[in-house]
Chains A and B, each alone.
Chain A
Amino acid sequence: MSRSWDPEILGLLGGIVVLLILGSAVGWVLARRVSDESGRPVVANLNDRIRAWWLMVAVFSVALATGGIGSVILFGLLSFVALREFITLTPTHRADHRTLFWAFFVFVPVQYLLVAVHWYGLFAIFIPVYAFLFVPFRSVLAGDTDDFLARTAKIQWGLMIAVYCVSHAPALLMLRIPGYEGQNAKLLLYLIVVVQLSDVLQYVFGKTLGRHRIAPRVSPNKTWEGAVGGIAAATLIGALLWWATPFTPWESAGVALLINLAGFAGGLSMSAIKRDRGIKDFGSLIQGHGGVLDRIDSLCFAAPLFFHLVRYGYT
């Protein structure tokens, strides 16, 4: 437990706090300066987002401070809420009720229990194999075959994205990296910092320089300038954080680039689901950001990739 407060973790957290103070200051100045009607809601939303970041950082720091179990519980709760948002917006039938009960109250806890007890073998196949097969079976027992394949796929997708993918973030804590024992919490922090900063920087570059939209029908706010600028800057920051990881600076840059690209793919894919359902956000739990799933969409795609890069490259 005490090992999780090594100086490098404090350095990372301190850096985040400095960034947040900076962000809050900029938000405060912008709120005083903004005069035109069109800019006001943008600045108000920016300040909401920054306030929410303070809260998210506080919650995450407390989870890290408790050692492994706190992080596992936190990500378990995030998965639960994300699945809730996902299933709420994907129409299911009355016949899926019992299946959904299993998804929420059996598959989510079991997946995170496997992370907590470091049972890698079952962790890796539990949802993609056994939950995958159980879902159609449980639904068919209710006797409704209308849209059967689509309904089944929706629940499977929800479990994959919101539970299986997200659970790879706390699963970093179960890896045994020679020469890096007891320091895995820093890898988790590195993943979150790089991917979330990439989101923030893409937003900042997009708002300031954004001209050319990447996929206007999918996500009107994503521009080439925002994506390239944000990913490049976050990759640079990832490289500069090499000291907290088992990577060399160049390796750290490469890893950061890959997870940022995966995060971008995640954000875009999840946007497509939202557009298909005709909604802007998955939820409204986090002021200014939307729902939990809106905040972690990039993490969903980046976490498994990062986990496997570390597992196959460094253990």
Chain B
Amino acid sequence: MSADAPQAGPEAVPVGPDPGLSARAARAFLVGLTRLVTGARARWVGGVSAEAQRVYFANHSSHLDTLVIWSSLPAGLRARTRPVAAADYWDQAGLRCWLARRVLNAVLVDRAAAQEGLRGSREALRCLLTALDLGDSLVLFPDGTRGDGVNVGELKPGMYSIARERPEVELVPVYLQNLSRILPKGEYLPVPLLAKMTVGAPIRLEPGEGRRAFLERARQAILSLGGEP
């Protein structure tokens, strides 16, 4: 599978400003469908910024997470915001690949290689940095696989590397609520409850802050948004 796709670099370049009519129609459809099924409303606690380049990092509990964040962004921001997704799942010929690359304009990273060793994780990081250098914002789920929707696991170090390598990028915590009830792990039929997305104020790497401390602070930044009803 992923071993056959060694050239992750050039492929990570965005598809271009015009994704084509079918992809645009699919985008509008997905945004509408996601809003209908999840009723998601974004609450911007930390303000919306039209110019700033951002990395939205959120808790992961459902297959719908990416779609919810992506659909809840104002249209102008959405066009310049790319979800980060696992290549081993999404980069398969057919509908998935079309969805990931053309419709969502996702940045695909090799999850398995990234977990295996230093070389793989450096490659994954390079993909993300390339996307950032092109001026796009990113959506990523640094606690890895989908959790139970209440707790947030330890964050993976990639977040820290981004913060260190691109200090000008705003790191924005996002808390997603109820998505694990709408479409939990292992289910394929959604129950249409109301989801909630809270977008917090950006955080940055403090001078002299270590990796562990920063990742814990980022994790707390997500959790702190879940407190209010």
A residues sitting closer than 8 Å to B (CB atoms) are 84-85, 87-88, 92, 94, 97-98, 100-101, 104, 277-279, 283-284
Among A97, A278, A279, A283, the residue within 8 A (CB) of B184 is A97
> Do A87 and B41 touch across chains, with their CB atoms under 8 A apart?
no
Cβ < 8 Å to A, chain B residues 142-197 = 148, 178, 180-181, 184, 187, 189, 191-194
What A residues does B193 contact at CB under 8 A?
84, 87-88, 100
Q: Does B120 contact A (CB under 8 A)?
A: no
Given contacts A278-B229, A284-B41, whether A92 and B181 have CB atoms under 8 Å apart is yes
> Do A100 and B184 touch across chains, with their CB atoms under 8 A apart?
no
> Do A97 and B194 touch across chains, with their CB atoms under 8 A apart?
no
Q: What 0/1 pattern do residues 184 to 224 of B give for CB contact below 8 A with A?
A: 10010101111000000000000000000000000000000
> Do A84 and B194 touch across chains, with their CB atoms under 8 A apart?
yes
Count how many chain B residues have C-beta atoms less than 8 Å from C-beta atoms of the other chain.
Answer: 14
Closest 3 CB pairs of A and B: A88-B194, A100-B191, A88-B193
> Do B229 and A104 touch across chains, with their CB atoms under 8 A apart?
no
> Do A84 and B229 touch across chains, with their CB atoms under 8 A apart?
no
- Tell me the bound Cα distance from A98 to B181 in angstroms: 11
B residues sitting closer than 8 Å to A (CB atoms) are 39, 41, 148, 178, 180-181, 184, 187, 189, 191-194, 229
What A residues does B41 contact at CB under 8 A?
284
Q: How far is the CB of B44 from chain A (nearest CB, A)?
A: 15
Q: Is the interface of A mostly helix, strand, loop or mixed?
A: helix
Among A97, A104, A278, A279, the residue within 8 A (CB) of B187 is A97
> Do A101 and B191 touch across chains, with their CB atoms under 8 A apart?
yes
CB-nearest residue of chain B to A99 = B191
> Do B181 and A101 touch across chains, with their CB atoms under 8 A apart?
no
Q: How far is the CB of B187 from chain A (nearest CB, A)?
A: 6
What B residues does A98 contact at CB under 8 A?
187, 189
> Do B191 and A283 touch across chains, with their CB atoms under 8 A apart?
no
- Tell me the bound Cα distance from A94 to B147 in angstroms: 12
Q: How far is the CB of B60 from chain A (nearest CB, A)?
A: 16
Given contacts A279-B229, A284-B41, whether A104 and B191 have CB atoms under 8 Å apart is yes
What B residues does A87 contact at CB under 8 A?
191, 193
Interface pairs (23), CB distance under 8 Å: A84-B39, A84-B192, A84-B193, A84-B194, A85-B194, A87-B193, A88-B178, A88-B193, A88-B194, A94-B148, A94-B180, A94-B181, A94-B184, A97-B181, A98-B187, A98-B189, A100-B193, A101-B191, A104-B191, A104-B192, A277-B229, A278-B229, A279-B229
> Do B194 and A283 touch across chains, with their CB atoms under 8 A apart?
yes
- Tell me the bound Cα distance from A1 to B103 in angstroms: 45
Q: How far is the CB of A291 from chain B (nearest CB, A)?
A: 9
Q: How far is the CB of A295 from chain B (nearest CB, A)?
A: 16
CB-nearest residue of chain B to A95 = B184
What B residues does A85 contact at CB under 8 A?
194
